[in-house]
């Protein structure tokens, strides 16, 4: 009888191992894997947070004057009104003003500022204006626009000739980050 009882206990132990312990062990293994994944994600978050903090420190270390120049170069909004005001200020230095101002925002798209650059999102606006002046003053106005910090692409210039002064219609494109 003791052999029979031993056999029953062995069979019960094997069945208990197969139906109770093995599934619990599998659950434990799955939980250990999840724990390892969560720990890896937390470590990744810590490194990202550290990188973010380093970048914020670098950003905060930039002098305000330099930051202002950067924001002028590629602002966060079109700033069409400010640009037109700046161009009018330039024109007024040469004894003239701009007129017939219009602007048109292009549809939102992912574009590249130049060939070979990584694709980056930006927006652009076409700005048109006219100025009535002589040729040398117009060249000086364009030269100042060209040397300003703001990225301005002169797309088209049309000239209407007159005796004393010509009328120059300028189409330009400006860029900003959305």
51, 78: one domain: no
- Interatomic CA distance for residues 155 and 124, integer angstroms: 13
Give 127-155 pLDDT, tens digit per residue.
899 999 988 999 999 999 888 888 888 99
Rg over CA atoms, the chain:
35
57, 78: one domain: no
37, 117: one domain: no
Strands of the chain (E only): list them.
98-105, 109-111, 120-133, 152-160, 166-176
Does residue 177 contact residue 122 with C-beta atoms inside 8 Å?
yes
* Burial call 156-174: b when 16+ CB within 10 Å, e when fewer: eeeeeeeeebbbbebbbbb
Give 21-31 pLDDT, tens digit per residue.
777 777 888 88
Q: Kindly state whether residue 157 falls inside one of the protein's structural domains.
A: yes
10, 81: one domain: no
The pair of structure tokens assigned to 129 is: 């204006």
Q: Kindly state whether residue 132 falls inside one of the protein's structural domains.
A: yes
54, 86: one domain: no
Q: Kindly state whether residue 67 falls inside one of the protein's structural domains.
A: no
Q: Kindly state whether residue 12 falls inside one of the protein's structural domains.
A: yes
Predicted local distance difference test score (pLDDT) of residue 110: 43
94, 165: one domain: yes
115 has a pLDDT exceeding 60: no
For the chain, how many structural domains are there in total?
2
Residue 124 pLDDT level (bands cut at 50, 70, 90): confident
The residue ranking higher by pLDDT, 25 or 44, is 44
Q: Kindly state whether residue 35 falls inside one of the protein's structural domains.
A: yes
Q: Kindly state whether residue 96 falls inside one of the protein's structural domains.
A: yes
Predicted local distance difference test score (pLDDT) of residue 49: 94
Does residue 132 contact residue 166 with C-beta atoms inside 8 Å?
yes
**Angle made by CA atoms 165, 167, 172, in degrees to the nearest 5:** 140
Query: CA 151, 118, 66, 81: dihedral to nearest 10 degrees?
Result: 30
Q: Kindly state whether residue 148 falls inside one of the protein's structural domains.
A: yes
Give 57-93 pLDDT, tens digit per residue.
988 898 888 888 877 777 777 677 888 888 889 999 9
The residue ranking higher by pLDDT, 170 or 31, is 170
What share of the chain has pLDDT > 90, as a percent?
31
Mean pLDDT (the chain) is 82
Q: What SS3 class is residue 166?
A: strand
**Angle made by CA atoms 41, 44, 46, in degrees to the nearest 5:** 110
Identify the domain containing residue 126 by its residue range.
74-176
Predicted local distance difference test score (pLDDT) of residue 111: 47
Q: Kindly state whether residue 4 falls inside one of the protein's structural domains.
A: yes
84, 48: one domain: no
Mean pLDDT of 17-22: 72
The residue ranking higher by pLDDT, 125 or 120, is 125
The length of the chain is: 178
38, 97: one domain: no
45, 78: one domain: no
162, 117: one domain: yes
């Amino acid at each position: 009888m003791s052999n029979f009882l031993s056999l029953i206990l062995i069979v019960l132990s094997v069945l208990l191992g197969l139906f109770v312990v093995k599934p619990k062990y599998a659950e434990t293994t799955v939980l250990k894997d999840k724990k390892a994944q969560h720990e890896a994600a937390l470590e990744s978050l810590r490194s990202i947070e550290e990188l973010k903090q380093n970048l914020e420190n670098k950003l905060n270390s930039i002098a305000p004057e330099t930051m202002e120049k950067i924001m002028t170069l590629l602002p966060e909004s079109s700033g069409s009104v400010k640009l037109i005001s700046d161009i009018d200020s330039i024109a007024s230095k040469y004894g003239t003003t701009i007129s017939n101002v219009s602007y048109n925002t292009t549809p939102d798209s992912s574009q590249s500022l130049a060939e070979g650059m990584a694709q980056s999102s930006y927006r652009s606006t076409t700005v048109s204006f006219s100025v009535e002046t002589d040729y040398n003053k117009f060249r000086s106005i364009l030269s100042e626009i060209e040397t300003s910090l703001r990225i301005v692409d002169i797309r088209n210039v049309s000239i209407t000739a007159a005796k004393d002064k010509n009328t120059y219609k300028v189409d330009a494109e400006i860029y900003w980050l959305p």
